[in-house]
């Protein structure tokens, strides 16, 4: 009888937890996103603070066996957050890794999330180290066969390591592993990934210096809608690699090093 009550109670507790978190999320954030009037920066920052608190609560909340459901739900919230270009142009994308920490903790095999994680956290938020760290943790739960095409996660990680973290050795290993995982499959897509990843790993072993490639990657960050902190980070990285950034009303002009 006791076990039966526990079996019934667990889903109810999970539902109440989800309902509670939803109530935290909905009052202002959803109204803000749908409003036709442009909200003030003060209101936006207040709502982002509330969203940050909600995500922190989700990190600590037990899943009661509903990890995949929570991951899907948070991913939908992330898509809404990322897709609001007008607001992101004012605040940047600093909450991106917080969404993915929740998503991948609940469902580390959520393959689509890794692709969004890499672009949103690395390129838009300018936090490649955070993106790489989340992928490294998630990869501990993956295998060459589960989920399907999981070799792409190694490629995303390798790209971030190569272009943004200046870690050529780790990038070479990531591309080599992507090739190994993809070579387990005979379909055309997997074979192409295996071949291209192996070529990249081989190239990096022979050409460890990739300054111009790394500068180009940080230029991508600089040209996206980013906050002031991320803009300064991108300029600092470009200059540390030997490039020069000249700002003008027409945009940024990048001077690459002679080599």
List, for residues 160-200, the tens digit of each pLDDT value.
998 888 888 999 999 999 999 999 999 999 999 999 999 98
Query: What pLDDT sits at residue 212?
Result: 79
**Which range, 149-153, 235-239, 247-251, is most confident?**
149-153
Does residue 55 lie within any of the structural domains? Answer: yes
Lowest mean pLDDT among 158-162, 238-242, 245-249: 245-249
Nearest Cα to 169, choosing from 207, 121, 213?
207
Rounded to the nearest integer, the mean pLDDT of the chain is 84
Does residue 75 lie within any of the structural domains? Answer: yes
Does residue 24 lie within any of the structural domains? Answer: no
Tokens of 124: 């838009």
The angle subtended at Cα 188 by Cα 187 and Cα 189, nearest 5°, is 95
Does residue 166 lie within any of the structural domains? Answer: no
Residue 110: count of CB within 10 angstroms of its CB: 21
Query: What pLDDT sits at residue 259?
Result: 65
* Residue 121 vs residue 26, higher pLDDT: 121
Mean per-residue pLDDT for 12-29? 45
Number of domains observed in the structure of the chain: 1
pLDDT > 70 in the chain, percent: 84
- pLDDT > 80? residue 6: no
Query: What pLDDT sits at residue 234?
Result: 87
Write phi, then psi, for 225 (nearest 5 degrees). Answer: -75, 105
- DSSP per position, 111-146: HHHHHHHIIIIIIIS--HHHHHHHHHHHHTT--SSS
Query: What pLDDT sits at residue 225?
Result: 67
List, for residues 122-144, the tens digit of each pLDDT value.
989 999 999 999 999 999 999 99
Query: What pLDDT sits at residue 41?
Result: 82
Cis preceding linkage at 89, omega within 30: no
Domain that holds residue 91: 41-141
List, for residues 30-48, the tens digit of each pLDDT value.
554 555 456 788 888 999 9
**Which position has the token pair 């007008």?**
86
Q: How far apart are CA 81 and CA 202, in angstroms?
A: 39
pLDDT band, very low/low/confident/very high, at 86 (cuts 50, 70, 90): confident
Q: Which residues pair with 21 in a beta bridge?
A: none
Does residue 151 lie within any of the structural domains? Answer: no
Query: What pLDDT sits at residue 10?
Result: 46
Q: What is the pTM of this model?
A: 0.77
Query: What pLDDT sits at residue 203?
Result: 87
Q: Which residues pair with 244 in a beta bridge?
A: 255
Query: What pLDDT sits at residue 21?
Result: 46
């Amino acid at each position: 009888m006791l076990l039966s009550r526990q079996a019934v109670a667990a889903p109810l507790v999970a539902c109440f937890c989800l309902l509670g978190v939803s109530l935290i999320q909905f009052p202002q954030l959803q109204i803000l996103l749908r409003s036709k009037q442009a909200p003030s920066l003060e209101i936006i920052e207040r709502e982002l603070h509330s969203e940050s608190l909600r995500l922190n609560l989700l990190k600590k909340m037990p899943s009661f066996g509903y990890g995949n459901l929570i991951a899907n739900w948070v991913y939908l919230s992330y898509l809404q957050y990322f897709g609001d270009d007008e607001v992101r142009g004012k605040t940047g994308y600093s909450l991106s890794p917080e969404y993915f920490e929740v998503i991948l903790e609940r469902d580390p095999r959520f393959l689509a999330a890794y692709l969004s994680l890499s672009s949103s956290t690395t390129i838009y938020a300018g936090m490649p180290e955070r993106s790489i760290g989340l992928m490294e943790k998630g990869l501990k739960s993956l295998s060459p066969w589960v989920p399907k095409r999981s070799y792409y996660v190694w490629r995303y990680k390798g790209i971030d390591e190569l272009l943004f973290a200046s870690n050529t050795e780790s990038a070479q290993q990531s591309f080599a592993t992507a090739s190994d995982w993809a070579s387990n499959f005979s379909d055309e897509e997997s074979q192409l990934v295996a071949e291209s990843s192996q070529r990249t790993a081989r190239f990096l072993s022979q050409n460890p210096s990739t300054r111009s490639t790394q500068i180009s990657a940080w230029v991508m960050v600089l040209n996206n809608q980013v906050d002031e902190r991320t803009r300064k980070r991108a300029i600092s990285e470009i200059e540390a690699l030997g490039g020069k950034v000249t700002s003008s009303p027409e945009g940024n002009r990048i001077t690459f090093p002679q080599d």
